[in-house]
Amino acid sequence: MRPLNLLLLFLFFVSVSPHAFAQKKWQELTTVEDICTYMPETMKTMLDQFNLETPGMEKVKQAYTNGDLVQACKELLVYYRNGNTASYLRKTQPTASIKTVAEADTVLNYVFYVQNVRGQVPLLTDGHRDWHYQGPNNDKEWAWLSNRHSQLGEVYNAYMETGNPKYAQYMDEFLRDFIIKSMPYPGAKSSTPVWRGLEVAARVKTWSRIFYGMINSPYLSPATQLLVLSSMPDHAHYNRYFHAGNNWLTMEISALATAATNFPEYKQADEWLTYAIGTMTESMKGQVYPDGIQTELTSHYHNVSLANFELFKEICDRANRPLPDFFNQTIVGMYDYIARAVRPDGHRILNNDGDRGSDRELLLKAAQKYSKPEWAYLASNGKKGTKPAQGPSYFFPWGGQLVSRSGYDAQAHWSYFDIGPWGSGHQHNDKLHISISAYGRDLLVDAGRFAYTGEVARKFRPYATGSAGHNLILIDGNGQNPGPKLADAPVDSSYIRITPEFDYATNRFSDFKNVEGTASHTRALLYIRGEFWVVVDRIQTDKPRKIETLWHWHPDCPVTQAGTTVKTTNPKGNLAVVPVGNLVGNQKMEVRFVKGQEQPDIQGWYSPEYNVYSPNTTAIYSTNITQDQTFVWLLFPSEGQMPLVKARLLAENEEGVEVEVSTNGKTWKMMVPYRDSRGVVVRK
């Protein structure tokens, strides 16, 4: 531990001695005199963090120079009450009432909902809450997120809405409890619930709102206000020296800039902001691909990074600190990706460690803010804005993601095909995965993320991150190994082709876990716009193998089998998976359904958001091969009852396959190459 930390630790125990608290409990420390009497060194350290030459702080400096700690602290609060720093956060105090907000009332009992799990933070013998409490499932993720103080933000909103004093009084007690209990600041990188980077960053933003929004409130006590001011430099110090990378960096560095600009009176504020600008701009260069996708390739964390990049720009704009032109251009590019990838129902891709949340309102606001009417068109199914000049399908060459659509209406076909790199964080072993929606319904799905820690994670995490939770092929029962985290070039242009009539994409994966010898999987997808998908799986092997092809259905889809065809029987919005042709010689292709399986392996589960999950049907096609083998699948959507569909394999060679599909009096003959998009031929 650094000498400075040892000194601070010593001073803390001197300034907050057991004898002192025997005379007065922490709950009773409300006035300036209280806090200066019982925590004098903390208050002195706080004042030493300020530039007392700041205009308006003359009386603070004079009192502190004269050794009058109480008066100096009082003058500091006068400065903040009468000043205009962070004017955008200052609010007129609401009229008092007895109105209530049910969700906030729950928080008043220290009952927090964290990632859909309800828990009550217990009271310790010293009167403090147990800020290390891991929730009812003993999940450290629960402890981390509860220490971000988003629940305190809910109570703040309730107070501003109702003026009910109980909400303000709760915030006062909550902050005083937490800040005193969190002392001393360790001054080192930490993964504890209280002093981990993401939690530190989130608190800076929430505390700023409360401090300035209630600076003139009679309910936020002077002692609590001073404690916030004493702790803020510690939070800034942590984000300055111990921040991480990727989306964590965006959150932590935006918090550093928040502290610097909301509290410019601190001596280090200018250095914090200068460092934040340099670090954030460099991170953006390495964190976002030229096609606008954040390198973790996870829709959820793409949005997290974007929100913090945008927040950072707003902070710098308020501080009149210009950012490079590319910074704003990258923000626009990140929104453009969201707009072009969005599902017809407004929800985002569910991939890697993501949730199936809605991006509709996000895009509609962004369309207005950045004057991009095509985003509004994409988000509203054409009810607003302007139709994009390109589309309806889009390929993102650095992220390697093909998003196919039949159109922009709410009933449109939509698919997601992943042929890109593994991702720089929050990755799943899911290369060549396909998701499909049509007629307003999710059909083929990704398993989701389930949870990161705790009981749910121990049970489901390997399934969530592994190939078995995705629409992929297992070789000898094994899924993929991790791939490259970052792309050093876009996907080869010969692997992709988008025309008005069809979309095509392909790639190859050859690194499977625990597979002896050599085996590779090449998957090509051909989407005939407005009609159907053809998937061609080419397995190359040096020895006999067991091949299992997985198709995971949304939990709301009833699934039936007719021969080797598997299809849904929804009232509206259906899909059939049809194996095409005699692709396995005289060997039998077995089909089995698995739903909600826990033994011997997890299979048939779906998680649309963190800590939320349910059983879903997985159709598993199994066969044994003795040599290289090709499997062709017709994925045929239907608005209602499935029509009669005929599909057959006309030819196969080392370059690709020729397939014929007939339905409703129409016939397509298609050449589907394994690797070269120039070989695609579609005849109708």
Tokens of 120: 């009550």
DSSP for residue 538: E
Q: Which residues of 627-654 are buried (b: 16+ CB within 10 A; e: fewer)?
A: eebbbbbbbbbbeeebeebebebeebee
Fold assignment, 391-683: Beta-galactosidase; Chain A, domain 5 (2.70.98)
pLDDT tens-digit readout, 472-481: 999 999 999 9
Please check whether residue 16 is in contact with residue 181, taking contact to mean a CB–CB distance below 8 angstroms. Answer: no
| DSSP E strands, 26-93 | none
Model confidence at 3: pLDDT above 50: no
Span 138-145, average pLDDT: 94
Q: Please tell me the number of Cα atoms within 13 Å of 328 on its side-chain side.
A: 11
Cβ-based neighbours of 212, under 8 Å, separated by 6 or more: 85, 86, 89, 90, 91, 262
Q: Please tell me the number of Cα atoms within 13 Å of 56 on its side-chain side.
A: 13
At residue 2 the predicted structure's pLDDT band, cuts being 50, 70 and 90, is: very low
Model confidence at 11: pLDDT above 70: no
Residues 361, 335: Cα–Cα separation, whole Å: 12
Span 253-277, average pLDDT: 97
Tokens of 156: 């703040």
- Output the average pLDDT for the chain: 94
DSSP for residue 129: B
Tokens of 469: 């939770």
At residue 177 the predicted structure's pLDDT band, cuts being 50, 70 and 90, is: very high
Chain centroid to Cα 330, Å, comes to 18
Model confidence at 589: pLDDT above 90: no
Tokens of 233: 């430099």
At residue 393 the predicted structure's pLDDT band, cuts being 50, 70 and 90, is: very high
Cβ-based neighbours of 13, under 8 Å, separated by 6 or more: none
Residues 612, 515: Cα–Cα separation, whole Å: 33
The pLDDT score that the predictor gives to residue 587 is 56
Please check whether residue 185 is in contact with residue 11, taking contact to mean a CB–CB distance below 8 angstroms. Answer: no
Distances (CA, A) of 308 to 238, 247, 311, 346: 18, 8, 5, 22
Model confidence at 533: pLDDT above 90: yes
At residue 582 the predicted structure's pLDDT band, cuts being 50, 70 and 90, is: low
Span 46-53, average pLDDT: 98
Span 236-253, average pLDDT: 95
The pLDDT score that the predictor gives to residue 20 is 44
Please check whether residue 338 is in contact with residue 405, taking contact to mean a CB–CB distance below 8 angstroms. Answer: no
Tokens of 420: 């890109």
Span 121-133, average pLDDT: 95
At residue 18 the predicted structure's pLDDT band, cuts being 50, 70 and 90, is: very low
In the chain, what percentage of residues exceed pLDDT 70?
A: 95
pTM: 0.90
The pLDDT score that the predictor gives to residue 292 is 97
The pLDDT score that the predictor gives to residue 360 is 98
Residues 125, 128: Cα–Cα separation, whole Å: 7
The pLDDT score that the predictor gives to residue 484 is 87
Residues 225, 208: Cα–Cα separation, whole Å: 11
At residue 570 the predicted structure's pLDDT band, cuts being 50, 70 and 90, is: very high
- Evaluated on CA atoms 185, 188, 189, 190, the torsion sign reads negative
pLDDT tens-digit readout, 621-666: 999 999 999 999 999 999 999 999 999 999 999 999 999 999 999 9
Nearest Cα residue to 186 out of 2, 47, 315? 2
Model confidence at 438: pLDDT above 70: yes
In the chain, what percentage of residues exceed pLDDT 90?
A: 93
Distances (CA, A) of 214 to 217, 378, 467: 5, 40, 50
